[in-house]
Chain A
């Protein structure tokens, strides 16, 4: 009924008389579109332009693209693909096992396991690299485990990336496994299928799209990450690090942007596959599906618990190693505890200013990003805004998912540092870092907002419109309070992402806006590995604290505004 009404209103919307409220909403929706065009679309176009220029900015046609055909590039690409495939092949079974244990077993302590599994999200991707040096480096605690091998190279990169990408894969697989129809399992059981047979005939087909999405995401994350390989790559060169060296080290933007454009390929591909997969996934679950309630089964519950304990132990061990290294006076010769490595002001990286800046960036992104994303989603979902801004915003909002941070950062340099650009004044400011980080993480936040808004019946707006209540009143009194948990979740996501991000901002920071995640990288470059571990520890502690605060706030909000959901 409501759907039919919605459809009628949408169709006839254009002919309904426009109220003042509609006009305001229309204008604001154009603003949302303009924001995404200027801060996402144009920088990406600028990279294309730069790829056609030489070092001094002269037009050279496609000659930079010749860089894609020489032996050096093939070598780098081969290495990048190798470590990306290897990481994916390890992470996906690991994350699947963990997700299955959480969703399909009756093991105890599920909420604790679920929380611990998200540890890697709190740290910059450089942290696993640093931990690996202390664990398996030449002076590592567990050096003997490496035998004759060395952690510096592909082994180290893969181990670090597995840590870094684990929670990302896990979240997708958890969602995939939550869509289960108990009736299928009942049918399989009554037909005499054993557990193994059921896995291959029922479970696997139902999660195959989730597996594909997760694998594509992990592959993309690894091939575009340079944090881990920068620290433990040794002499094993990969594409992402080469881009960093070309652009930051040699200021050779042309070749850097050609390589960057190349890295867009796997990301765009995985994005397309993901969109296709999502459409398929929706059709999987019919309205008559019965929720699957896992039954107690001692052997498999014990196995699940053991597996999760192992994985969580490894995650905690990796984090713990960096934290421990931060407090050790002089590894490995003087193991006395001390705080000397936290004396950031006498080291590279920008000192405690970097941490204060990161805090500003994180708070700014949580606030600005939260408002921009929520409003953008609101115009798209709830108002009678124009067709064009709705369509363009809807498309641009999910595009950042396919844009590696590195590429976005390069685009920002080229676009905002162009002398003729009226927005040039933004270049080198904290404001630009906030906007860049907002755009970088826009998609996930946008989808969260859209999901929350979709749960609300469109009739609220229709009734409000017919009572001549302007949209901002409906928004303030109905929509926002109901969506508060989602809004808090978006803000928390922005905060933690801004705190840990390296890839885009590393091209944009200045001495006044140094960031702690970038400082970790610069300290390691200068050889202060212990101090880098200390800074990474500070980042983790800050993110963890904020997660707790947001957790508390959203619990309160749920209690105060969501009581109606229980009835």
Chain B
């Protein structure tokens, strides 16, 4: 123990060195866990000296966390979080507007309309139904073609979907149904669907993963997860309901009050760059920079046309109201009847 002071001094020195050599950016994200590594590697390679520390969870959880920390923000940057959530943060005055280098090269409708923009989009992610063909054959289930098809009694207890309060995928499903079927028709549709839903899941990925194992034959999910599971050998078909697909943008914004503004700007720049869009393109059929996207296996070429006309600021402004109504209807008394 005579060496204790020396050991302690050494430890403190090490800790100090680790703390000051680099800038560490705390980045809140709802990106998929199997995507973030590639993005991080590329960014850190192009911006030596800046480290990303991810705080990852589903969209709803990340949004709630950011709002709860409003008076004492922990994040430097929000990246890969739904634009409908970033709009809420902006309304609360929590984002620091910044025009990333080359932002004018991005599709205009995928960037915040203000100048300078509070956030810039990365890619579009949209609704997809995962349909397990093996289990369907066993149970004699017909492949659904539309959202309305999911109301058929034969699907009772066979469908899983994400909980819109925790999942961004779940939320754009709900807001899209309210658009497609109208406010009244939308809730009637969900009342009917509720009768067939086996469980509401925490994340947008889980329903498709459960469809992939056949735990439940039908999972309402999104296209990246569906395509990547099918590529991995899961016996699923991707269904794109013909009424149209709900969607949202994954987007990046800088938190107001960040102590690492320069590094944060670097990440915002990178997020809008060509090399970043090349990485998004590997996962998504529609990315913010025009001309970068290439066809993705299992996703039809006209995917962008299947997305519904949707006003993200409406989704943002009505989020609290819609979620409260949804929770009241389906979460509070979610005992199956």
Contact = CB atoms under 8 A, between A and B. Distances in A.
Q: Do A and B come from one complex?
A: yes
A525 B33 CA distance: 12
A511 B51 CA distance: 13
Interface stretch (A23-31, A232-240, A467-475): A232-240
A526 interface: yes
B315 to A, nearest CB: 18
Contacts of A334: 233
Interface stretch (A1-9, A120-128, A132-140, A197-205): A132-140
Interface string A239-266: 0000001001111010000000000000
Nearest to B216: A138
Contacts of B234: 330, 333
Nearest to A334: B233
Contacts of B232: 330
Interface stretch (A163-171, A344-352, A365-373, A448-456): A344-352
Given A75-B333, A249-B165, A526 B215 contact: no
Given A72-B332, A139-B215, A511-B54, A526 B199 contact: no
A333 B229 CA distance: 13
B65 interface: yes
Contacts, number: 96
A235 B67 contact: no
B64 A251 contact: yes
B80 to A, nearest CB: 14
B214 interface: yes
Interface stretch (B55-63, B275-283, B303-311): B55-63
Contact of A527 (B55, B201, B336): B201
A331 B213 contact: yes
A98 interface: no
Given A75-B333, A235-B335, A348-B33, A528 B209 contact: yes
Among A138, A330, A332, A347, residue most surrounded by chain B Cβ atoms (within 10 Å): A138
Contact of A525 (B55, B206, B210, B216): B206
Given A251-B68, A526-B33, A138 B54 contact: no
A526 B203 CA distance: 6
B302 interface: no
B207 to A, nearest CB: 8
Contacts of A331: 213
Contact of A345 (B37, B61, B72): B37
Nearest to B61: A249
Interface string B219-230: 000000000000
Given A346-B33, A347-B34, A511-B54, A527 B200 contact: no
A527 B208 contact: yes
Nearest to B202: A525
B190 interface: no
B334 A237 contact: yes
Interface of A is mostly: loop
A152 B210 contact: no
A419 interface: yes
B208 A248 contact: no
A234 B336 CA distance: 10
Contacts of B202: 525-526
A138 B68 contact: no
Interface residues of B, number: 45
Contacts of A251: 64-65, 67-68
A512 interface: yes
Given A235-B200, A346-B37, A527-B206, A133 B166 contact: no
A332 B214 contact: yes
Interface string B307-337: 0000000000000000000000001111110
B56 A348 contact: yes
Contacts of B56: 348, 511
Interface in A311-366: 330-334, 345-349
A248 B64 CA distance: 9
Contacts of A253: 68
Nearest to A237: B334
A234 B199 contact: yes
Given A72-B332, A249-B166, A235 B199 contact: yes
A527 B228 CA distance: 14
A347 B36 CA distance: 10
Contacts of A75: 332-333, 335
Given A249-B60, A251-B64, A525 B199 contact: no
B199 A139 contact: no
A139 B55 CA distance: 33
A148 to B, nearest CB: 11
Contacts of B58: 525
A527 B203 contact: yes
B259 interface: no
B132 to A, nearest CB: 10
Contacts of B67: 251
Given A75-B333, A527-B208, A330 B233 contact: yes
A67 B92 CA distance: 27
8 contacts: A72-B332, A138-B214, A234-B198, A249-B64, A249-B165, A347-B34, A349-B33, A527-B206
Interface of A: 55, 71-72, 75, 133, 137-139, 152, 234-237, 245, 248-251, 253, 330-334, 345-349, 419, 510-512, 525-529
Given A75-B332, A250-B165, 20 more contacts: A71-B332, A138-B215, A139-B213, A234-B198, A234-B199, A235-B336, A245-B166, A249-B64, A249-B165, A331-B213, A333-B134, A333-B214, A333-B235, A346-B33, A347-B33, A348-B33, A349-B33, A511-B56, A512-B53, A525-B206
